[in-house]
Structures are given as C-alpha cells and as structure tokens.
Amino acid sequence: MTLPRLQSLDDLHPGDRYELGRLTLSLEEIQAFASRYDPQPFHLDEEAAKDSIFGMVVAAGLHTLSACFGMLMASPLLRDISLAGSAMEVRWPAALRPGEEVAVTVEVVMVTRSRARKDRGSARLRYVATRVEDGVVVLDATGLHHLRR
Amino acid sequence: MTLPRLQSLDDLHPGDRYELGRLTLSLEEIQAFASRYDPQPFHLDEEAAKDSIFGMVVAAGLHTLSACFGMLMASPLLRDISLAGSAMEVRWPAALRPGEEVAVTVEVVMVTRSRARKDRGSARLRYVATRVEDGVVVLDATGLHHLRR
C-alpha cells in the first residue's frame, strides 16, 4: 500500500491505521547509536552483553524509537502538514535485537482542532513496532503532533 | 561536583538531584541526526526552516532527548546498577537551537523494590534540560529504569 500524502489534519480520523513498512537495525548501527546516546555494555559489546539480562547486544530503546519515528517522518503521510511535536509516551515491552525484522504501523488515536487557530490542530499518533517472526511488540509509543488544517 | 558511582538501587532516594553537566548541539549534529531519524525541513534546511513555526533549524525532539539521556548513561551514576529501561514520558516545552547551551539534571522521582527479586528494583528518573541563557526548559522527561540492588 502506498501511503497517502495528507493535506490537512482533517484527513486524519481516530482508528485510521497505516503500515509504514519493515525495519531492521544492524549490529553496527546499534553500536554506533549507542556509543553516542546510550553507551551501556549491552548495547556495545557482544562479550559483555552475554552477562546482561538480554544475553546479547540489543538496540538502545531510544534507537528503536528514533528509527521507527524516522520511518513515519520520512514517509509522505505528514510531509505537508507537520508543524511540530511536543510530547510522547513510550513503552518498550521487549528489546530489538540486531538483524531482527519488525513491522511498523501508525494509528490515529485522537484528533483535536484548535479553537484559537482555525488553520491547525493536534493529533495523538501511536507507533507500534512488532517483531515479524513471532508478533512480539518491541515499541509502543504515542506522540502528540501539531498539524496544519 | 563529581557524580557518585552508585552501587545499589538503595543509593537512590526520591528528591535526590544530580547535575549531569552542560550540553550543546551543533547545526551539523542536528542535521546528521535528523537526516536519519526525523527528516523534516525545519531540522535540516536553514532556508526552509525560516518558514516553519520555529523560524530556524532546531534539533529534533528525539535528538534532544537522546543527547541528554546519553549524558546520564555516559556518567558513572548508574554504570554498575543499570539493567534496562522500559518506559518513558517526554515533553518538549521548547525547541533546542544550534549552539545553545542547556544544563541537564536528573532527579529521583520514585524508587520501587521488587518483591519477587530481592536483587533488583526500579526507579523513575526525571531528566530536565534547561537553557542556560534564560532558564527555558527544552526537555522534561521521566524514564523507568530497572536497577540492581
């Protein structure tokens, strides 16, 4: 399915759901992100990670989040209407392992029109990343987006 | 102040507050992060950003968050006790501009000991980044950390 290029906040309806595609992070990408933004041994060092609760190197949670969010913002969906974002709630029910494929979807949770500014409003969008192999969710996040009308 | 290297969840007490230091993101860093994880014009293109609600290039919210979180995880504070993280709530009350200096603090909000596993527990830690020039908060996030006892 090709994603539409929305032209207004009014094109979003609670319950709408879009498939953003599939995502995989390599060990090298995981280590590069972690070395700058989350330098813990279980994101960096294969040997040390064996002693962690993960048993192997896994992606930093903020890396999983950023990569999934990046798929949304690189897609045409909000390209013409995105003004800013101001809040997010995130859960990582499981860790993302190197080379593992996840399917990323975005769902419209809530749409609010601004009373003061008729040309804008906000939407709560939920991004979920699900491991293709076994259906385990590795990311469940909801962001507050400010959008044009 | 040198940050301590905590040896147990029990070393954290609600209300404890640590200064992680100061942070600045350059235009080049902002563009590099955004090109991969949030490729919107107001994070990438100085000319296009003039027409945005920010009026100039600003850091992606996830970049501000990741850079501040990275300061915490690169510090000695949780180095010996961090097991994992599983949730986060984030607000970005203002955007971080290139070259702007922010002071980053972490505060202990809540500490919970596990009943099932005496050797671990969890803590809610709040990270706040405040613009040095005028005291404006650019990041206010609270993460759920799983820690050793």
Do the beta carbons of residue B104 and residue B70 sit within 8 Å?
A: no
**Domains of chain A, start order:** 9-148 (3.10.129.10)
pLDDT at A1 over 80: no
Q: Do A53 and B84 touch (CB under 8 A)?
A: yes
**Chain A touched by B82 (CB under 8 Å):** yes
pLDDT band at B1 (very low <50, low <70, confident <90, very high): low
Q: Distance between CA A89 and CA A85 in Å, rounded?
A: 12
Residue corresponding to tokens 């279980």? A42
- Which residue in chain B has the smallest CA separation from A38? B70
Q: What percent of chain A has pLDDT over 70?
A: 99
pLDDT band at A11 (very low <50, low <70, confident <90, very high): very high
Q: Do B85 and A95 touch (CB under 8 A)?
A: no
Q: Distance between CA A85 and CA A122 in Å, rounded?
A: 9
DSSP three-state, residue A65: helix
Number of H helices, E strands in chain B: 4, 5
Chains A and B: how many Cβ contacts under 8 Å? 83
DSSP three-state, residue B39: coil
- At B112 the pLDDT is 97
**Chain A touched by B119 (CB under 8 Å):** no
**Chain B touched by A74 (CB under 8 Å):** yes
Do the beta carbons of residue A121 and residue A130 sit within 8 Å?
A: no
- Reported as a single tens digit per residue, the pLDDT across A12-57 is 999 999 999 999 999 999 999 999 999 999 999 999 999 999 999 9
A137 CA to centre of own chain: 12
Instruction: Mark residue B13 as left, alpha or beta (left: phi above 0; alpha: psi -120 to 50; beta: remaining).
Output: beta
Structure tokens, B118: 């005496």
- Reported as a single tens digit per residue, the pLDDT across A85-122 is 999 999 999 999 999 999 999 999 999 999 999 999 99
A55 DSSP 8-state letter: S
Neighbours of A55 (CB within 10 A): 12
- Reported as a single tens digit per residue, the pLDDT across B138-149 is 999 999 999 999
Query: Rg (Cα) of chain B, in Å, rounded?
Result: 17
Do the beta carbons of residue A95 and residue A54 sit within 8 Å?
A: yes
pLDDT at B114 over 80: yes
Please list, in sequence order, all residues whose beta carbon lies within 8 angstroms of the beta carbon of residue B115, skipping any fewer than 6 positions away: none
Q: Distance between CA A8 and CA B45 in Å, rounded?
A: 23
Q: Distance between CA B78 and CA B106 in Å, rounded?
A: 11
